[in-house]
Amino acid sequence: MYLIITEKETAAKRIAAILAEDKVKRVRYPNLGIETYEFKYKDYEKTVVMGLSGHIVGIDFPKEYNNWQKTSPKELIDADIRRIITNRKIVNAIKLIGKNAKKVTIATDYDREGELIGVEALELIQEVNPDVEYDRALYSALTPKDIKHAFENLTEVNFALASAGHSREVIDLVWGAVLTRYISLSAGRLGKLFLSVGRVQSPTLALIVEREKERDAFVPVPYSEIEANLETSGKETFIAGYKSGRIYDKEEAKKVFAKVEKSKTAKVISIEEKERSEKPPIPFNTTEFYVAANSIGITVNSAKRTYQTLYESGYLSYPRTDSTIYPETLDLKALIEMFLGTEFDAYAKELLKLPKLEPTAGKKTDPAHPPIHPVSVASKKDLKEEEWKIYELVVRRFFATFAKEAQWKTVRVQIDIEDELFRSNGSTLVDEGWRKYYPYNKPDDRILPNLSENEILKVKSANHYEKETQPPGRYGQGRLIRIMDELGLGTKATRADIINKLVSRYYIHGNPLQPTKTAYAVIDTLEKYSPEIVRTTMTKLLEKDMDKISEGEIDEETVLNESRRLLLEIYEELEKNSEDVEESLRLGLIEDKTVGQCSICESDLIIRRSKKGGRFIGCNGYPDCNFALPLPPKGQIIVTDKACEEHGLFKIKIMNAGKRPWDLGCPQCNFEEWEKTRDDKEDEKNEEGEILIRENEPVGFIPGIGKVYEKKLNDIGIKTAGELKKESASEIANKTEIPKKRIQNWQKKIA
């Protein structure tokens, strides 16, 4: 029997369909909860393709290290790391099937993680079948051409690459566990509220916090802008601005505006026309793809997930690549020709008319995978909306790399108004070139009237704008990914996950990304008492060492020992300042819970928990002052930096994993709005003494409604508790198949 191992079930199904000489037989293993695909292939009596579920084994510390409060974090630095089974059913299945295999081909994704997943599966098979033959299939797309070529040119398993992947697992586990436990214990934040610290995560968070500090420290500088609205003899109008743009001297601005405001005419002094060429973009690598997807409104995490689906469906090439140079082995003409007769027919025909296909090229190469590109045709009607957006983005970028430069005509006009120089610039796209294929984020034309030197214009009006300089902008997800790439933080495969982790840990929110007060507290403490954790130098060094493992230049154990040595130095530095670390964290975290000042006694209003576990905003002046505001029972509370103009309290967001943030806003305004909707203020609790859910809160906040039920309710248009309350329980039950009695119980919990 010939066994082929893939990373996921979807890849197994597709590879089986491509390689099979006859029909593919799907075989279920009910007791193990898996499916395999069997067929006839070459001289093998039976060929089986089996998909894993990513990593089926992992690593962890022995159980005796599990108690955070009984085990010193320092003990974890040199603790044994054990292999643990993360998916028992698939492990049992792979041993059962692999026991009878004559040969095994590893066909997982070709990168560090994919190679490690494949080697993990191989080692499990070797436990029950030590003499089994094995090899490796390498491919960059799940297309018939790529898969057949891979299986006709099988190669060796890259154990060095798998070791590099394994070293990352060990290093990230140890660093994360040691530092997370130490910081969480110091801050008294355990359980679900633990403070996560990581080798790549923390330097990335430091970038976001540092940018926010720059914004906090920014002092705006006032300046003026003066514009004149001009009209030609043909009644065409345009705007001209003062020569320097910004005028920082207030008196100078007043003098200039006084002249222009009184003037009736203006004179064209000079006209300068030029042509400007705009080069087409280079091919997508992973980083540039994320940047482009984010620029059209798709989050990095969503872009990653959607692209993976398109890759597994055989539409796009492998998603994780550094390359921006198409390899000579790629049949570029054939890839363009496949779009003839599709939604992209006209574009494909135009490119094929070119005398020679000469694509642009960047500076990065990746020996494992080519740049991101389409590998088969998809139709808009066959894909979901976001899938089509991603597919179209990739196709258009691919086309644009072959197109000619875009040509712009620029005009610069200088105008005299009462001996003051004004300027106006125009630009027109005269030849779309590559922008015809890739229209995203195209600058608008700025068209000026046809003017001539010494022409007299009418001054219709003048405007004096008083403005202020703006702080540096926050990082968007795409921009942060690019900066991480430039600084060597993480890899093409991990950067999107790092950002997602920072969001899930409630360190950052929004896009552009804004840090919470918790992020400030953690990063400020680390920068003060162990700056190496938040600098890029150390993590960059370890990344290079892991690259050397994959290239066979250094062994894994050497890198792991060096990693432990670095971590021990950092830990001892923190421990030396343990009291200061604890105080710094606790003071910083108090700010994260401070909502503003009490309107009665001016003490701080703090987010608190009642003895029964409920949450509320309470006054620090208690018991002398008992002012309080209620809070929703579920979700992570984020105190933003935006204050309510009426009450002066910071506005609040409620974050729930996997859901859109709920902007609760000012807690005082929210409470007052809730009170207006109540017929009777005594209805605050139901008969069972439970605090009732407010009508404007999401249905997911109602006890008993989890993600599945929330989605069912959302799908029929019920998103708030008030909407659930108004609808008939019977009608909801008919539409959603949720038991009527359960719906009625939920409705009783709504104010």
Tell me which residues are annotated as active site: 318
Distance between CA atoms of 442 and 436, rounded to whole angstroms?
10
Tokens of 578: 């343990």
Contact of 63 with 74, CB cutoff 8 Å: no
Query: Rounded to 5 degrees, what angle do the CA atoms 280, 281, 286 make?
Result: 165
DSSP strand pairing (650-655 vs 662-665): antiparallel
Distance between CA atoms of 379 and 746, rounded to whole angstroms?
43
CA distance to 419, 676, 682, 710, 750, per residue, from 723 (Å): 66, 17, 22, 13, 10
Element (H, E) at 515: strand 514-515
Residue 51 main-chain phi, psi, to 5 deg:
-95, 140
Q: Hey, what's the torsion of the CAs at 620, 626, 629, 631, to 10 degrees?
A: 70
CB atoms < 10 A from the CB of 235, how many? 8
Cis check for the bond before 319: say yes or no (omega within 30 of 0).
no
3-class SS at 432? coil
Nearest Cα neighbor of 621 from 594, 648, 601, 606 is 601
The strand pairing partners of 266, in sequence order, are 457
End-to-end alpha-carbon separation of the chain, Å? Answer: 64
CB atoms < 10 A from the CB of 409, how many? 16
Decide: residue 329, CB within 10 A, 0-12 exposed, 13-18 middle, 19+ buried: exposed
Residue 558 main-chain phi, psi, to 5 deg:
-60, -45
Residue-wise DSSP of 221-247 = -EEEEEEEEEE-TTS-EEEEEETTS-B
